[in-house]
Structure 1
C-alpha cells in the first residue's frame, strides 16, 4: 500500500513552491503531478515516504501562512 498527499492551493505562488522543494524532499515528499484549475487554483499530488515527517511539513507550511487550503492523505486501495 502506498500513500499520497493531495493538496489544493487557492492562490498559488510557483516561485515559493519551487523554493520549498528541498524542505518537501527532507519530509519524504515527491511531487508526482500538478494540475491547474482556473486561473489561480493548483492541485498537487505528492508521494509520501514518511507520514510523520509529511504531517510535520504540512503543519509548518500552514503555520508560516503558505500552506495549502486543503490536504488529504490517500492510500491506494
Structure 2
C-alpha cells in the first residue's frame, strides 16, 4: 500500500526543513519515503509518495501532521 500526500504550504522552505526533521517519526509510523516532488508551477505545493507498512500508524501520523499549517490531502493507494 502507498500513501500519496499533497501539501499546500505558504512557506515551502520552512515546511521542507520540518519535513526533513520528521524522518524518524515517519519511520516509527511505518512510512518509507519513495519520492518527493515540488510542483513546477506552484511554489508552495509538494507531493510525497510513501510505502505504508502499518496503515493504522500511518493514519495517526497523517492526523498529527494535519495540525501543522497548510492544507494536506492524503490518499491511501493500492496497486491496480
TM over 0.5, yes or no?
A: yes
Give the alignment's TM-score, normalised by structure 1.
0.87
CA distance in 1, matches of 2:26, 2:70: 12
Specify which of 26, 44, 51 is matched with residue 47 of structure 1.
Answer: 51
Match of 2:3 in 1: 5
> How many residues are treated as equivalent by the alignment?
74
Counterpart position of 1:65 = 68
TM-superposed CA distance for 1:65, in Å, is: 2.3
Task: Compute the RMSD of aligned alpha carbons.
Answer: 1.4
What is the TM-score when the length of structure 2 is the normalising length?
Answer: 0.84
Question: Displaced runs of 4+ in structure 1, greater than 4 A?
Answer: none
Q: 1:14 aligns with which of 13, 16, 20?
A: 16
CA distance in structure 2 between the aligned counterparts of 1:4 and 1:49, rounded to whole angstroms = 9
Q: 1:48 to 1:18 in 2, by over 3 A?
A: same
